[in-house]
Structure 1
Amino acid sequence: MKISRRSLLLGGAAVGVVSFVPSAIGQVPAAFDTLPASAPTRNLTLTAREIDARLLGADGPLTRRVCAYDGELFKMFRFQRGTRLIVDFENALPDPTTVHWHGIRLPYLSDGVPPLTQDVVEPGGHFRYNVPLPDAGFYFIHPHCDETGQVGRGLAALLVVDDPAEAKAGYDAECFVVVKDWRLAPDGKWLDMTTDDGAANAGTFGTIRATNGKTTPPRVEAPAFGDVRVRALVADATRVIDLGCDSDDAFLIAVDGQALPPVSLNALPNGVWRMGSAMRADVQIRMPAPGEEVKIYDYRSDEPYLLTTLVAVDTGKRKTPVKPRPLPAPQVPLPDLKKAQKLEFLLQVSAGPTAVSPPLPADDPLSKALANSLCVGSTTHWAISRDSWSTREDLRLPPPLARMDHGASYIVSMTNVTKHVHPMHLHGHIFRVLSHSKKPKMPQYLADTVIVEPNETVEIAFKAVSGNWVFHCHILEHMDTGLMGWFKVA
């Protein structure tokens, strides 16, 4: 559904609300909606602000300048599939910010990426976002300016989109596991969120591990012999985890909110699902007898790190044979692989800011767009096929990595020639992961973020949607120091 020119030029903003207009003239891609105009609408207010919290435990010191939406750490928003959100956002932080709706297929003018889709929202400023919710799944909200600092201090919220058809799967309980570390000194004060050594390597890790914001792993009760839907999110800026549990009765049922035919965790490499920053996974776990427990771990550490314990309680439910409970199939646009154009990119280190792609035409309104200095790093360590996002004094928007046609299908091949993992995220699209060169038996699945291991090639495919869409590593220091580009789709 194509948005009217008036709405396009307003950027979805209401009268009196600060908005970014890419241009009233020139080569502005059309913005396309993913729901009809008749879709039910919910009005939502959203405020980013600083709070105080005891992140080191109830008896620990107070940490100031924690970032949160609506004053609540990891607040959850939940809506029905097919709903349109009209979100009036207020920035009550002392620094500029935006809101990115991670994984949601929405008009690009509400994607929250300065300077491609909007200006930053200054302190005290407002912006109105048009957020259609066409797909069921597990998503989340985070800033796309000073992301390392603001996400590092907690600025993220959960967004769950429900589909009534999922009730047929018959899950007995639901459990959320949010993986997010804290970079804190023993006195509760913040440490620097980024270091030059960390940005140039695997990232700057937190000093304190936490689940759902707390240093003590949660204990969650669930019906004995019941099936629990565990919904995990890596909200950390850096960490990569190997999600697994100590039960053989566990199935991967969704990736990044998109259902797939259930796969036993035991059938996956090393019996785990590897997840990087921003990735989500839904896992079905069968509970044992009353009084027994299932422990959910991150196995990607010297010793398995306990994330959450599920405790079986007697509710009178009888033991039945274990079987997977599939979710309804996703209803997202799928690429035509036979007609797809193939593009190849290298994920590589860089000695400094570079740009080898053809520049934007002089009459393109983005040809002179400037990146806000608070939204990028202070140096360049990374590049995509020798193109890197601007840093230091060179804050001009780099040229697009590729120009694509709306509605056309593309296969993007990513080869990681570095020694570090890169979870690569494409905005505004759900893509099909076709292959991992290091995991030839991995089934195909849908996602919005995919891990590319060192010396690995991963192929993804998608149907392009009109707009300016960024493509970047979600280890946030990598993104801030060059490992980000964009596709222009018109």
Structure 2
Amino acid sequence: MLLSGLAAALAPRMVLAAPESHSITARAVPRTLPGNAGPSTLWLYNEKYPLIFRAKRNEPFTAVFHNELREHSTIHWHGVRVPYGMDGVPYMPHDPVKPGDSFTYQFSPPDPGTFFFHPHCNTVEALGRGLAGVLIVEDPRDQGLFDLEHVLVLKDWRSRPDGSFGDFLTDAGAARAGTFGDLRTVNGEVMPTLTVPPGARVRLRILNVDSTRIPMLNLRGAANPVVIATDGNACDPFALNGWRLGPAMRADVAFIAPTKSGAEIVLEDVFSTRPRPLAKLVTAGDGLRSTKAVLRLPAAELPMPDLKAATTLDIQLLAGSLDPALESWAKQNGVSVDELCLTQKVFWSINRQTWPGAAHDRKPPPLFELKSGRSYVAELFNGTPHQHPMHLHGHTFRVLSSSERDLPPHWADTVLVRPKERIRIGFVAGQPGDWMFHCHIIEHQETGMMSYLRVA
């Protein structure tokens, strides 16, 4: 069985005189997934799934990454506004970490919340084999607001009963909604049962680290569950009510547990004709009678865009086509397609640009060139028949409006754009650098729906 690593991650730590340095080792590990007869070759950080680290807001965090895989890798700190040199994208900003080598990531996370980390090379296979971890950035302002929290990591596995994996990227999946796994887990387990004290104020940190699936979340048995943070960032609480959690998106959900012992609360995916239960919480132990019933986090402290002075960016998510210049471009530049962590097939594009076929250097021209400190409003239009969770590296943006639905204004680093929908987001351009912008359905990312914004 897989080890959750949750208990260890939540254990108290000694206060050290110097910033603690974490060691993160990526290696292949044989593990038997739930219900399978034989072991699977998983790729894990520190042989745990999920590996969970805790950091403190604005305090130094150091992680020494050791690559024991047979291919090069990196760590991208998804949603964390890290310095450009720490973003973990191969060749931008640093070379990939070769097998047997190490790289030290150092940053002070400026924002509290629920984040995760994963490689940004051969991502579809790496995530498919389990190479992802959780980074929780704590804020002293949150202390005492909740009695208990649980971290719930959602992931499908494309494994067969004998433990072997199916294809992580298929043409049929990449050209449509993605290739789905049949084994659905939370923290590496099928329908795990967790306990909460009766009457407790509960915080669930829910992360979708799957490469494809988009669940609609519901908490059956909980009275008035609310979303209190989106992608780790505090928001005005709104009803959970089937909130769609695209790949790489996170939702912190709060509720007050029933006061009766033995009551059940079920986290379920209602994006189907029949709800799919994912995890169960059961009330047990001594009851709590808290006088603090307000389920809310302190307001997020993020750069607010000046919408009146903002420059508008038009971004169209479109179908792509195979670019015959790709192979010749790579040969001319002495770069193999494998080194670029890309497939040679192109099904998707952003503003009709694909990566990297149109380039004359080691990367194509940027989607836009921005000025650090200036405000921008991007209008994202999805001209395809499939949903796209679009992620911007190094920035947290404000989701402003949708042409198709009533969206509560909220902060995010990944926004789900439905077919024919126009979504407006606002942000302040951050540190100078080339910041990736891509779909987090990884098969879409690796078949064309990837670009970058250049901030100068």
Normalised by the size of structure 2, how large is the TM-score?
0.90
1:253 equivalent to 2:228? Answer yes
**Partner SS, residue 127 of structure 2:** helix
Equivalent pair of 2:358/2:364 in contact (CA under 8 Å): no
The offset of 1:82, in angstroms, is 1.4
Residue aligning to 2:449:
483
Residue aligning to 1:136:
112
Equivalent pair of 2:322/2:345 in contact (CA under 8 Å): yes
How has the CA–CA distance of structure 1 residues 132 and 318 changed in structure 2, closer, same or farther, with 3 Å as cutoff?
closer
Residue aligning to 2:421:
456
The offset of 1:96, in angstroms, is 1.2
**Partner SS, residue 223 of structure 2:** coil
Return the letter of the residue paired with 1:48.
A
Equivalent pair of 1:115/1:371 in contact (CA under 8 Å): no
How has the CA–CA distance of structure 1 residues 90 and 392 changed in structure 2, closer, same or farther, with 3 Å as cutoff?
farther
How has the CA–CA distance of structure 1 residues 124 and 118 changed in structure 2, closer, same or farther, with 3 Å as cutoff?
same
Q: Which runs of 5+ in 1 are unaligned?
A: 1-38, 266-270, 356-366
2:86 aligned to 110, 117, 129, which one?
110
Residue aligning to 1:53:
31
The offset of 1:126, in angstroms, is 1.5
* 1:119-198 pair list within 5 angstroms: 119-169=95-145, 171-198=146-173
Return the letter of the residue paired with 1:333.
P
C-alpha distance after superposition, 1:311-331 (max 9, x if no partner): 0124132487x9442111112
Equivalent pair of 1:379/1:392 in contact (CA under 8 Å): no
Equivalent pair of 2:333/2:361 in contact (CA under 8 Å): no
Equivalent pair of 2:354/2:450 in contact (CA under 8 Å): yes
In the alignment, the residues of structure 2 paired with residue 124 and residue 189 of structure 1 have an alpha-carbon distance, to the nearest angstrom, of 26
Residue aligning to 1:353:
323
The offset of 1:239, in angstroms, is 0.6
Return the letter of the residue paired with 1:237.
S
The offset of 1:61, in angstroms, is 2.5
In the alignment, the residues of structure 1 paired with residue 402 and residue 149 of structure 2 have an alpha-carbon distance, to the nearest angstrom, of 30
**Partner SS, residue 45 of structure 1:** strand
How has the CA–CA distance of structure 1 residues 371 and 172 changed in structure 2, closer, same or farther, with 3 Å as cutoff?
farther
In the alignment, the residues of structure 2 paired with residue 181 and residue 297 of structure 1 have an alpha-carbon distance, to the nearest angstrom, of 14
Residue aligning to 2:309:
339
Q: Aligned-pair RMSD on alpha carbons? A: 2.2
The offset of 1:393, in angstroms, is 12
In the alignment, the residues of structure 2 paired with residue 487 and residue 201 of structure 1 have an alpha-carbon distance, to the nearest angstrom, of 26
Equivalent pair of 1:354/1:388 in contact (CA under 8 Å): no
Provide the aligned length of Structure 1 versus Structure 2: 430
Residue aligning to 2:255:
285
Residue aligning to 2:411:
446
Return the letter of the residue paired with 2:354.
S
How has the CA–CA distance of structure 1 residues 40 and 331 changed in structure 2, closer, same or farther, with 3 Å as cutoff?
farther
1:211 aligned to 183, 186, 205, which one?
186
In the alignment, the residues of structure 2 paired with residue 392 and residue 61 of structure 1 have an alpha-carbon distance, to the nearest angstrom, of 46
Residue aligning to 2:209:
235
**Partner SS, residue 210 of structure 1:** strand
Q: Which runs of 5+ in 2 are unaligned?
A: 1-16, 326-331
2:21 aligned to 38, 43, 49, which one?
43
2:198 aligned to 209, 216, 224, which one?
224
Residue aligning to 2:281:
310
Normalised by the size of structure 1, how large is the TM-score?
0.84
In the alignment, the residues of structure 1 paired with residue 434 and residue 333 of structure 2 have an alpha-carbon distance, to the nearest angstrom, of 15
How has the CA–CA distance of structure 1 residues 149 and 165 changed in structure 2, closer, same or farther, with 3 Å as cutoff?
same
1:70 equivalent to 2:46? Answer yes
**Partner SS, residue 209 of structure 1:** strand
Equivalent pair of 1:369/1:397 in contact (CA under 8 Å): no
Return the letter of the residue paired with 2:441.
I
Residue aligning to 1:424:
390
The offset of 1:130, in angstroms, is 2.1
Aligned residues: percent identity? Answer: 41
1:301 equivalent to 2:277? Answer no
Equivalent pair of 1:137/1:161 in contact (CA under 8 Å): yes
Equivalent pair of 2:337/2:344 in contact (CA under 8 Å): no
C-alpha distance after superposition, 1:350-391 (max 9, x if no partner): 122399xxxxxxxxxxx9695752511230000001111126
Equivalent pair of 1:376/1:391 in contact (CA under 8 Å): no
Equivalent pair of 1:354/1:387 in contact (CA under 8 Å): no
How has the CA–CA distance of structure 1 residues 66 and 218 changed in structure 2, closer, same or farther, with 3 Å as cutoff?
same
**Partner SS, residue 203 of structure 2:** strand
In the alignment, the residues of structure 2 paired with residue 402 and residue 457 of structure 1 have an alpha-carbon distance, to the nearest angstrom, of 19
Q: Which moved more, 1:197-206 or 1:63-72?
A: 63-72
In the alignment, the residues of structure 1 paired with residue 449 and residue 132 of structure 2 have an alpha-carbon distance, to the nearest angstrom, of 22
Residue aligning to 2:4:
none
**Partner SS, residue 159 of structure 1:** strand
The offset of 1:252, in angstroms, is 0.8
In the alignment, the residues of structure 1 paired with residue 455 and residue 421 of structure 2 have an alpha-carbon distance, to the nearest angstrom, of 27
C-alpha distance after superposition, 1:214-265 (max 9, x if no partner): 2x21111101111210111101000101011113321110000000111123
The offset of 1:121, in angstroms, is 1.3
C-alpha distance after superposition, 1:119-174 (max 9, x if no partner): 221111221222221111000010000000011000000100111110242x1211
**Partner SS, residue 150 of structure 1:** helix
How has the CA–CA distance of structure 1 residues 71 and 240 changed in structure 2, closer, same or farther, with 3 Å as cutoff?
same
In the alignment, the residues of structure 2 paired with residue 180 and residue 116 of structure 1 have an alpha-carbon distance, to the nearest angstrom, of 28
Return the letter of the residue paired with 1:222.
V
How has the CA–CA distance of structure 1 residues 227 and 487 changed in structure 2, closer, same or farther, with 3 Å as cutoff?
same
In the alignment, the residues of structure 2 paired with residue 307 and residue 77 of structure 1 have an alpha-carbon distance, to the nearest angstrom, of 23
In the alignment, the residues of structure 1 paired with residue 334 and residue 215 of structure 2 have an alpha-carbon distance, to the nearest angstrom, of 37
